[in-house]
C-alpha cells in the first residue's frame, strides 16, 4: 500500500478520542457559531475523514490563489483545488478567534467542527473570478461548479479545524460511507497490495463494469475500490441511494468474491473536469490505492472540457514526483457487436460507429422512464430494473 499524499501517515482531523470529543462538543455550544455553505461543510467532512491529508484546515487567500494558479500552495505543497471556507456574512461570530461551524445540510444545524481562525480576508470579485476560471476553465454562470463557487461569498476564513461529525453521510449511508482511514484498514485486512480506484457519480453500466475488469486485468491488481460520491449533485443526476443499490446488485451478481470494495465519500460534486480528476487521484492515494482510472470526460459537465483533458492534465500540470498513485487512462468504452464484448473504442480501429451499441444519456433516461430496459449489452437487466423503478416513481 502506498503512502498518503505529502505525509508518512494519514492525518484525519476528526476527533476520535471520546473524552476530547465530548469536551469539544460541550465547548462548541458556548462558542460563537457560523452556518457554513454546503461546499465548506463537505470540505470539513473530507478533512475529518483523512481524504485531504496533509491539510490541517481551510486555506488562506494566498494559498487559495496559488493553488488555483499553479496547483501548489504558497509553501510548495502540491494540491489541485482550493479548500476554502467562503462566506457572505460573518456577523454572527464578531471578533472571535475560535468558532463552531454549523452544518447547513442537517436539520437543526448541528456543530460540524470547531475552527481556530488564523485570518479573515476579503476576497475581491476579480480574485473570485481568477480562482473560478482556473479551477473550472470557464466563468460561464451556467456551469454548475462556477455558479456554486461564486455564490458562496467574498469573506474567506482560514485556519485549522477539529471535526466532530461527518454530517449526514454516516447516518444516511451507513453501509457505504467510509473514511480514508477505514478504507486503508480494510485494504490491509483483505491483504490487497495493488488496488485500482474507480470514481463514479452515476449508476454503473456495462461499459463501466467492464472498464473495472480491464483495469484489474491490465494492472494485475488484487481488487478494485468502487468509490462513489455521496454529496450534492446538479439537478437531474441520479441520487446516491439509487446508484448504491445498482452498484451493489451488479457486484453481487457479476464480480468474483473479494475483488470489489463498494464505498462512498462525503463531498459535493465540483464538475471541475481536469482539476477534479487530479483531486480524485490525490484522495485515492490517501485511501491507499496504487492506481486510479481516469476515463473520457472525467468529472466533466456539458461541453466545457475536451474528452481527454482530464488525462492530459497529468502530463502537463502534475510533476512526476508529486503523486505516488498511477493513472490508468481509459478511452470511451462500448459494446462491440463485431466482437460480442465491451471494448475500449481506441482498441477497435476497424469498427464503424454502427458496430457499437451507443446510447445517449438522454435516450437511456427516456427508455427507463417509459419502463423499457436498455439492451443487456448496455445495462445489466437487474440494474435497469432498479433505475426503472426510480424513474417511474418520479412521475407518480
Catalytic site residue 201?
yes
Integer Rg of the chain from CA: 21
Contacts (Cβ under 8 Å, ≥6 apart) of 153: 37, 86, 87, 88, 89
Do 52 and 283 meet the contact criterion of CB atoms below 8 Å apart? yes
Distance CA 285, CA 330 (A): 19
Given 190, 202, 213, 389, the catalytic residue:
202
Given 98, 201, 248, 365, the catalytic residue:
201
Catalytic site residue 202?
yes
Beta strand 195-200 pairing with 223-229: parallel
Distance CA 137, CA 130 (A): 10
Contacts (Cβ under 8 Å, ≥6 apart) of 240: 172, 173, 176, 228, 229, 230, 264
Reading the block at residue 141, the C-alpha cell is 454562470
Given phi > 0 = left and psi -120 to 50 = alpha, else beta, which region is 196? Answer: beta
Distance CA 222, CA 216 (A): 7
Distance CA 13, CA 45 (A): 9
Catalytic residues: 201-202
Amino acid at each position: 500500500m502506498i503512502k498518503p499524499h505529502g505525509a508518512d501517515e494519514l492525518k484525519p482531523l476528526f476527533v476520535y478520542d471520546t473524552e476530547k470529543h465530548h469536551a469539544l462538543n460541550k465547548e462548541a455550544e458556548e462558542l460563537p457559531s457560523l452556518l457554513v455553505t454546503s461546499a465548506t461543510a463537505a470540505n470539513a467532512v473530507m478533512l475529518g475523514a483523512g481524504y485531504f491529508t496533509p491539510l490541517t484546515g481551510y486555506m488562506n487567500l494566498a494559498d487559495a490563489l496559488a493553488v488555483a494558479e499553479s496547483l501548489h500552495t504558497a509553501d510548495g505543497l502540491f494540491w489541485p483545488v482550493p479548500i476554502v471556507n467562503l462566506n457572505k456574512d460573518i456577523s454572527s461570530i464578531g471578533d472571535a478567534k475560535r468558532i463552531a461551524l454549523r452544518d447547513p445540510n442537517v436539520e437543526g444545524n448541528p456543530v460540524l467542527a470547531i475552527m481556530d481562525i488564523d485570518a479573515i480576508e476579503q476576497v475581491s470579485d476579480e480574485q473570485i473570478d481568477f480562482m473560478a476560471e482556473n479551477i473550472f476553465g470557464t466563468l460561464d454562470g451556467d456551469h454548475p461548479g462556477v455558479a456554486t463557487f461564486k455564490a458562496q461569498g467574498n469573506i474567506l476564513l482560514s485556519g485549522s479545524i477539529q471535526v466532530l461529525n461527518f454530517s449526514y453521510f454516516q447516518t444516511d449511508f451507513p453501509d457505504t460511507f467510509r473514511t480514508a482511514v477505514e478504507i486503508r484498514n480494510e485494504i490491509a485486512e483483505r491483504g490487497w497490495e495493488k488496488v485500482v480506484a474507480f470514481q463514479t457519480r452515476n449508476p454503473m453500466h456495462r461499459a463501466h463494469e467492464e472498464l473495472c475488469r480491464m483495469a484489474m486485468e491490465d494492472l494485475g491488481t488484487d481488487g478494485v475500490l468502487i468509490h462513489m460520491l455521496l454529496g450534492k449533485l446538479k439537478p437531474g443526476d441520479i441520487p446516491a441511494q439509487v446508484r448504491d443499490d445498482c452498484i451493489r446488485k451488479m457486484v453481487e451478481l457479476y464480480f468474483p468474491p473479494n475483488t470489489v470494495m463498494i464505498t462512498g465519500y462525503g463531498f459535493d460534486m465540483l464538475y471541475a473536469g481536469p482539476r477534479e480528476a487530479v483531486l480524485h487521484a490525490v484522495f485515492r492515494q490517501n485511501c491507499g490505492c496504487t492506481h486510479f482510472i481516469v476515463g473520457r470526460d472525467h468529472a466533466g459537465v456539458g461541453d466545457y472540457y475536451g474528452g481527454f483533458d482530464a488525462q492530459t492534465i497529468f502530463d502537463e500540470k502534475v510533476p512526476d514526483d508529486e503523486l505516488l498513485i498511477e493513472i490508468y487512462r481509459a478511452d470511451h468504452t462500448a459494446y462491440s457487436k463485431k466482437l460480442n464484448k465491451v471494448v475500449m473504442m481506441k482498441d477497435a480501429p476497424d469498427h464503424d460507429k454502427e458496430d457499437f451499441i451507443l446510447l445517449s444519456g438522454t435516450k437511456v433516461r427516456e427508455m427507463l422512464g417509459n419502463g423499457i430496459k436498455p439492451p443487456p449489452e448496455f445495462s445489466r437487466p437487474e440494474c435497469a430494473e432498479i433505475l426503472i423503478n426510480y424513474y417511474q416513481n418520479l412521475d407518480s
